[in-house]
Structure 1
Amino acid sequence: MRVLAQRLVFCALLGSLYASCPPRCECSEAAHTVKCVSRELRAVPAGIPGYTRNLFITGNHISRIGPECFKGLDNVTTLSLSNNSIINVSLISLKPRISEVDSNTFSGLRSLRSLDLSNNQLAIIHPEAFMVQNHSLLDLNLSRALYNHSSVMDLATSLRWSSLGALRSLDLSHNGLIFLPSHIFSHLTSLQRLLLSNNSLVAIHNSSFTGLERLEVLDLTLNSLKAVPEEGLRELDSLPRADLLLGENPFTCTCGIESFALWLNRSQGRISDAESLVCAYPTGMRNTSMLSVVTLTLGCHQSGAGADLALQTSYVFLGIVLGFVGLIFLFVLYLNRKGIKKRINELRDACREVWEGYHYRFEIDSDPRLSQVCTSADI
């Protein structure tokens, strides 16, 4: 009887243990972990144990996520919702079956440190989508998470409005970003790692990195940077503690890249992949080390000086030719001075006769008596 009672108690405990784990999920109380991976789930499962610290709900088809999905999970520190086809971070669903993440969805996770929303399609991001109590969130992964590059404006608003002052790592890689809005990261004053690799950024400007004095890593590899203008160089210099990654960009090594090439040589200690940076264009400079492009800079200046010298030489030559033509003209005038003087006198006499004729006619017309004499004389 005693043995039978022990077995019944054991079975009851075992049954309660399995009952505490949601269907199609794997739970480990010892590891404080719950995994619901690739289980064709349509919603966040109910009944997640309160001991959970690490919650992985990935590879499913979640249709909606709201604050009620994570009630009673005050101990969760790591939450992964990657690869769930989440489309909207908004207050309401725009059309049937569009996945949705309500405002303040994560605000009840008082201990949340890491949030992974990678491999989703966030088309609309509500300003309070990442609101977390106690400013606890330290790591936010949005890699391959934006529906398209236009979502970056909503993201910028959300980063300003949400409580992310303690955030240390932000991953925005593989999102097809073409530009960064002005001051997009200015409220992330504790950020240490910013990953922007594998996007389509064409320029660094608009004070995009303002407020990131504590940044330690800035990854800009695999973008579309052809050069970095003076404004962009000043922004990069405003990150004194950051190690920069600039590889796999299509740098165009023409005369316009002079200041960037000089900056690279001056800042090699801050650029982790400086030795691997090469020219992509023009064809003759392809695979040339960016650190050696300073010689091209000198060539550009020499070419410019040569052009100026050639222009000055042409002006001098033109002046000499015009002066020589002028001398010839004066010499011809000197040889024909008598004939020219005669022609001038004849022209002067002809003008005088014409003038006297006009003067005579004017006197006749102005005196009626002379006019009558002339008339009778004609008769």
Structure 2
Amino acid sequence: MCVFAVFVFWGLLFFTPHQLSGCPLSCECFAVTSTVKCVSKSLLTVPKNIPGYARTLIFTGNHLHQIGPDSFKKLTNVTNIILSNNRITELASHTFSALTNLRFLDLSANQLALIHPEALSIPDSPLQELNLSQALHNFTALTDLTTALRWGGLWGLLRLDLSGNHLALLPPGMFSYVPSLRQLLLSNNSLLAVYSGTFSGMAHLEILDLTHNAFKTLRADGLQELDRLGNIKILLGNNPYNCTCEIHDFVTWLNKSKAQVDVEAVRCSSPEDLNNSLLRGLTVQAVGCIVPVLSEVTDITLPTSYAFLGLVLGLVGMVFLFVVYLNRNGMKKWITDTRDACRDILEGYHYRYEIDSDPRLGHITAGGSRSQRHAGTTLSQQQLRDTRIIQSPTQTLAKQVTISPNANS
């Protein structure tokens, strides 16, 4: 009996909420766990008299449309805040700047339409986990969040949850301002493609969740972006993959990638004959990329440009040959004249060579008087005039007849 009484005492002491002095009205305060709970109390603002020992604040199911820097003053001990399902539409500048030890922040299931660029700015960047699932009201909120990540100085953020926000695309470089990120959850959105630069600057990422989106395939640039992430865990299952020829690159990547992909969940949704088939190992014939042809048939097809060029060159050749045919007589006469002219020139060179090589002209000395040189020149000219060409039927002989000076007398 005494033992039972002791258990009852300790249960009342540690496991029941204590309405301690300083505990907000309509809230529950737990001194042992350093927790303050205000669940579904229709609060319009964050209570002011939160006890200083509180480390975990749970405010859910209320109507906190707007929170700002005055909402969490002098709460330096708080490490965890859960603000889910409060219909919050706006985060003012430096909303959490007083929470210098904040590690975990849950803003899920809200309707954020306006996020100030410095709404998430906290000195020394203590925040490690940020839950924004089902929290972004529209695409403008995504743009605001991108700016808030840039100016928030969240260098120590390790986990970011953006699931269930109907995101159709992600701005390039959006996550480069959270370089320490280990887990990025993007499930239950409407993402259609992964673009180059989407995950740039994420050198420490370990888990990427892309399940339950609208991917029908992943293009070459998206696959290269995933390859840059290295050997990490990538969840790609439960997407409506269309297993046609366009998915061939994705199938090849699945078969060769070093990433840890949930291949058992990556299955075809269409066409009907491939429904629920595993993408890994799917052949190119199965997705309709190759049309069977006879092996003996040679592919002689040419690009249209080359075929047209060949046609033009053939037409030009035919025109050239036709012109030559019409001028065949003139061409024949031109060829004959050219041949005769070349022969006359060669005969003239041969005749000059015979004259220059005549040994009798070598007796004329280079010295002597001017009259002797003149006489020698006259003699040479006389000898040239006395040379006669005698032709016979078989050969042409050149005979030189020299008339002495006495014969003229």
Moved more, 147-156 or 80-89: 147-156
Q: Given the superposition, is the C-alpha separation of residues 278 and 296 from structure 1 closer, same or farther in structure 2, using an over 3 Å criterion?
A: farther
Residue 172 of structure 2: aligned partner: 182
Aligned residues: 285
Deviations 1:148-206 (A, max 9, x none): 23421111111111121110000000000000001000011100000000000000004
1:274 aligned to which of 242, 249, 263: 263
Deviations 1:276-297 (A, max 9, x none): 2111112222111101323437
Which amino acid in 1 is paired with 2:139? H
Q: Which runs of 5+ in 2 are unaligned?
A: 1-17, 303-409
Residue 73 of structure 2: aligned partner: 71
1:52 aligned to which of 54, 70, 79: 54
1:113 aligned to which of 103, 107, 113: 103
2:280 aligned to which of 291, 297, 304: 291
Q: Given the superposition, is the C-alpha separation of residues 288 and 298 from structure 1 closer, same or farther in structure 2, using an over 3 Å criterion?
A: closer
Deviation (angstroms), 1:134: 1.3
SS of equivalent residue, structure 1 residue 61: coil
CA distance, structure 2, for counterparts of residue 274 and residue 58 of structure 1: 37
Structure 1 contact 227–252 (Cα < 8 Å) conserved: yes
Q: Given the superposition, is the C-alpha separation of residues 183 and 112 from structure 1 closer, same or farther in structure 2, using an over 3 Å criterion?
A: same
Residue 329 of structure 1: aligned partner: none
Which amino acid in 2 is paired with 1:281? S
Moved more, 281-290 or 172-181: 281-290
RMSD of aligned Cα (Å):
2.3
Residue 80 of structure 1: aligned partner: 82
Q: Given the superposition, is the C-alpha separation of residues 281 and 18 from structure 1 closer, same or farther in structure 2, using an over 3 Å criterion?
A: same
Residue 319 of structure 1: aligned partner: none
Q: Does 1:61 pair with 2:58?
A: no
Structure 2 contact 43–63 (Cα < 8 Å) conserved: yes
Q: Which has the higher contact order (CA 8 A, sep 6+)?
A: 1
Deviation (angstroms), 1:301: 3.3
Residue 375 of structure 1: aligned partner: none
Q: Does 1:213 pair with 2:203?
A: yes
1:148-297 matches, cutoff 5 A: 148-267=138-257, 270-271=260-261, 273-296=262-285
SS of equivalent residue, structure 2 residue 124: helix
Structure 1 contact 149–175 (Cα < 8 Å) conserved: no
CA distance, structure 1, for counterparts of residue 277 and residue 171 of structure 2: 33
Structure 1 contact 110–136 (Cα < 8 Å) conserved: yes
Q: Given the superposition, is the C-alpha separation of residues 160 and 304 from structure 1 closer, same or farther in structure 2, using an over 3 Å criterion?
A: farther
Q: Given the superposition, is the C-alpha separation of residues 286 and 225 from structure 1 closer, same or farther in structure 2, using an over 3 Å criterion?
A: same
Q: Given the superposition, is the C-alpha separation of residues 298 and 147 from structure 1 closer, same or farther in structure 2, using an over 3 Å criterion?
A: closer
Structure 1 contact 175–199 (Cα < 8 Å) conserved: yes
CA distance, structure 1, for counterparts of residue 64 and residue 197 of structure 2: 37
SS of equivalent residue, structure 2 residue 242: coil
CA distance, structure 1, for counterparts of residue 171 and residue 286 of structure 2: 32
Residue 134 of structure 1: aligned partner: 124
Structure 2 contact 179–204 (Cα < 8 Å) conserved: yes
SS of equivalent residue, structure 1 residue 157: helix
Deviation (angstroms), 1:311: 7.5
More helix by share: 1
CA distance, structure 2, for counterparts of residue 169 and residue 62 of structure 1: 25
Structure 1 contact 215–241 (Cα < 8 Å) conserved: no
Structure 1 contact 262–294 (Cα < 8 Å) conserved: no
Deviations 1:193-241 (A, max 9, x none): 0000000000000411001111110000000111111111111011114
Residue 97 of structure 1: aligned partner: none
TM-score by structure 1 length?
0.71
Q: Given the superposition, is the C-alpha separation of residues 309 and 45 from structure 1 closer, same or farther in structure 2, using an over 3 Å criterion?
A: farther
Q: Which runs of 5+ in 1 are unaligned?
A: 1-15, 90-101, 314-379
Structure 1 contact 185–211 (Cα < 8 Å) conserved: yes
Q: Which has the larger radius of gyration?
A: 2
Structure 1 contact 213–241 (Cα < 8 Å) conserved: no
Q: Given the superposition, is the C-alpha separation of residues 278 and 50 from structure 1 closer, same or farther in structure 2, using an over 3 Å criterion?
A: same
Deviations 1:45-101 (A, max 9, x none): 110011110011111011331111111100000011110000122xxxxxxxxxxxx
CA distance, structure 1, for counterparts of residue 59 and residue 231 of structure 2: 36
CA distance, structure 1, for counterparts of residue 52 and residue 100 of structure 2: 13
CA distance, structure 2, for counterparts of residue 190 and residue 209 of structure 1: 13
SS of equivalent residue, structure 2 residue 145: helix
Deviation (angstroms), 1:270: 1.1
SS of equivalent residue, structure 2 residue 160: strand
TM-score by structure 2 length?
0.66
